[in-house]
Chain A
Amino acid sequence: RKEVEQDPGPFNVPEGATVAFNCTYSNSASQSFFWYRQDCRKEPKLLMSVYSSGNEDGRFTAQLNRASQYISLLIRDSKLSDSATYLCVVVHSGYALNFGKGTSLLVTP
């Protein structure tokens, strides 16, 4: 079983739509959780950290359920510029990041 699992998509949504991505992780000792965004042929960029209490940054909301080992990302009012691959990232020991394969999002006009 992979450490971090995501639905690869692609998710095709119209501009203005709300879209949600899910991620599960296998190591219950995992300590830190992030969502990264990766554009085609570019390096990943940190979108937001994920906290147990849930956190929001503008149109983006991230939630963590430790009991279910589940992380989510909600994007409201989708923009064309949100089109990218969203990577779920988990840290369980040291500082090394464990990446999911990513969920592809395409926002259409």
Chain B
Amino acid sequence: GAVVSQHPSWVICKSGTSVKIECRSLDFQATTMFWYRQFPKQSLMLMATSNEGSKATYEQGVEKDKFLINHASLTLSTLTVTSAHPEDSSFYICSARDPLAGRGDTQYFGPGTRLTVL
């Protein structure tokens, strides 16, 4: 099946620093990528939808100035958590939609990035 990678797989940083997470589709071109966040024992929550070449669409309650998304190519989307605080500590997962897959709603998930802010 299709492969999506994320980097880094985990990161520990000090409060106030910015952290960039990369999501890459390795063997297909993803016109749309999604960023999710999962807190312990909670469901995955969609943060934003990232469309190649256009601005991301953020879900209600997600600060677009804090979570910067860039989808500059068909295989790469980045999420930058600016001025991270301990409450931003979470498991961040991206997914990518393969428009050529059998079902248009097929998404492939990256392995996730565990962010811990001290």
State whether the Cβ of B25 lies closer than 8 Å to any Cβ in chain A: no
Q: Tell me whether chain B's interface is mostly helix, strand or loop, or mixed.
A: strand
Tell me if B46 and A95 are in contact (CB < 8 A).
no
Chain B window 23-60, contacts with chain A (Cβ cutoff 8 Å), 1 for yes, 0 for no: 00000000010101000011111100100000000000
Binding site for B on A (CB under 8 A): 4, 31-32, 41-46, 49, 87, 91, 94-102
- Residues of B in contact, count (CB < 8 Å): 24
Binding site for A on B (CB under 8 A): 32, 34, 36, 41-46, 49, 91, 93, 95, 97, 103-107, 109-112, 114
Contact sample, A vs B, 30 pairs, CB 8 Å cutoff: A4-B43, A31-B105, A32-B103, A32-B105, A41-B114, A42-B111, A42-B112, A43-B109, A43-B111, A44-B109, A45-B109, A87-B43, A87-B44, A91-B105, A94-B49, A95-B32, A95-B34, A95-B49, A95-B104, A96-B46, A96-B49, A97-B44, A97-B46, A97-B107, A99-B36, A99-B43, A99-B44, A99-B45, A101-B41, A101-B43
